[in-house]
């Protein structure tokens, strides 16, 4: 279920807005301040246009851009305590709204690459969820692998929120982890160019259906003089059908009403469709209570740190040598 205009919502409806943010062209730290100004203005204006709005979502890289030649230098990085993040907090509190924002986060260990991070800020201006990308896009993204797992937080209107970043959404295991921990709304923020446009739609739909949860996903939009980013904010129902679909327009705002309680009721009452429940108690018709023993080799091997594909020794691209022949550059920017 989703409304067409979504200017207002009734008391059980979670009204969400996905901002197809124009891809930033970032050349230095001063350009980051321009994006922060623009994002905060967008929070103010979107809330003014949609007074009942509960959650606003901005794409990956909307704050610091995708300039691979400078994006790991100290001046280009933020922390969750940075003044820029304080401004996001103030914008959420000022507008009584929850917000999802992207940042490239300085590693606690300065000798290691930074994290690709998403935060959810609540309507009180507090960080409700802090997530670090678990599956950076190889072989290009030089980020440290996330070390916070897949956190879930209570959100407005009965929602339980989790967030993944871009390529994370291509891994059904991560969507399953979020659902297993109780998420009924799975947020995906991305900076994909058009090479994976179709796969974007497929995975948003399958992540919803396999786990009986809403998926709300938004991508950068526009041209950065190298790639075109396709926008196409997508809202999927817990049955896998698309509720709302954006186009390729920068600044397009995709809105929808969601009903988290319906997800909860489907999970409690469906049988054939209850994939996430049936996984853990197979064949409960033929065997009372179902079979609970692990039958998945890859799950056992991953848990033991022994995950290895039969064709592992034939996998050619195993590092980012082509893009970073001298390694990832850390520290201050060259003068």
Query: Annotated catalytic sites, by residue?
Result: 60, 133, 166
CA distance 59 to 99: 11
Cβ(58)–Cβ(11) below 8 Å: no
CA distance 244 to 3: 9
DSSP H helical segments within 82-229, as ranges?
83-95, 172-180, 197-211
The phi-psi region of residue 170 (left if phi > 0; otherwise alpha if psi is between -120 and 50; otherwise beta) is: alpha
Q: CA neighbours within 13 Å on the CB side: how many for 26? A: 28
Question: End-to-end distance of the chain based on CA atoms, in angstroms?
Answer: 54
**Residue 196 token pair:** 């994976």
CA distance 18 to 93: 19
Q: Hey, CA dihedral for 7, 126, 42, 235, is it positive or negative?
A: negative
Number of Cβ within 10 Å of residue 287's Cβ equals 11
CA distances from 290 to 278, 296, 304 (A): 8, 16, 25
Which residues, 6+ apart, have CB-to-CB distance to 133 below 8 Å? 115, 116, 117, 118, 143, 145, 146, 164, 165, 166, 167, 168
Torsion angle, alpha carbons of 77, 82, 87, 92, to 10:
90
């Amino acid at each position: 279920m989703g409304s067409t205009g979504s200017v207002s919502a009734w008391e059980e409806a979670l009204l969400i807005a996905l901002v197809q943010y124009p891809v930033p062209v970032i050349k230095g730290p001063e350009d980051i301040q321009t994006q922060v100004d623009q994002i905060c203005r967008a929070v103010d204006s979107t809330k003014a246009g949609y007074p009942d709005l509960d959650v606003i979502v901005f794409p990956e890289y909307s704050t610091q851009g995708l300039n691979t030649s400078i994006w790991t230098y100290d001046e280009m990085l933020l922390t969750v305590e940075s003044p820029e993040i304080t401004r996001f907090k103030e914008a959420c509190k000022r507008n009584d709204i929850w917000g999802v924002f992207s940042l490239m986060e300085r590693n606690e260990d300065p000798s290691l690459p930074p994290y690709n991070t998403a935060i959810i800020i609540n309507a009180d201006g507090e960080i409700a969820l802090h997530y670090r990308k678990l599956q950076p896009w190889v072989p290009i993204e030089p980020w440290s692998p996330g070390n916070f797992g897949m956190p879930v937080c209570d959100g407005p209107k009965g929602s339980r929120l989790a967030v993944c970043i871009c390529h994370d959404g291509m891994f059904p295991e991560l969507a399953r982890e979020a659902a297993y921990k109780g998420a009924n709304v799975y947020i995906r923020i991305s900076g994909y160019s058009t090479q994976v446009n179709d796969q974007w739609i497929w995975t948003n739909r399958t992540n919803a259906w396999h786990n009986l949860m809403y998926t709300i996903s938004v991508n950068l939009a526009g041209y950065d003089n190298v790639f075109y980013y396709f926008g196409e904010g997508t809202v999927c129902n817990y049955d896998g059908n698309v509720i709302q679909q954006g186009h390729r327009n920068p600044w397009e705002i995709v809105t929808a009403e969601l009903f988290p309680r319906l997800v909860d009721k489907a999970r409690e009452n469906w049988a054939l469709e209850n994939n996430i429940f049936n996984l853990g108690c197979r064949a409960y018709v033929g065997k009372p209570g179902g079979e609970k023993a692990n039958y998945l080799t890859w799950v056992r091997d991953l848990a033991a740190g022994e995950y290895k594909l039969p064709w592992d020794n034939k996998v050619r691209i195993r590092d980012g040598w082509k893009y970073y022949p001298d390694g990832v550059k850390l520290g201050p920017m060259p003068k």
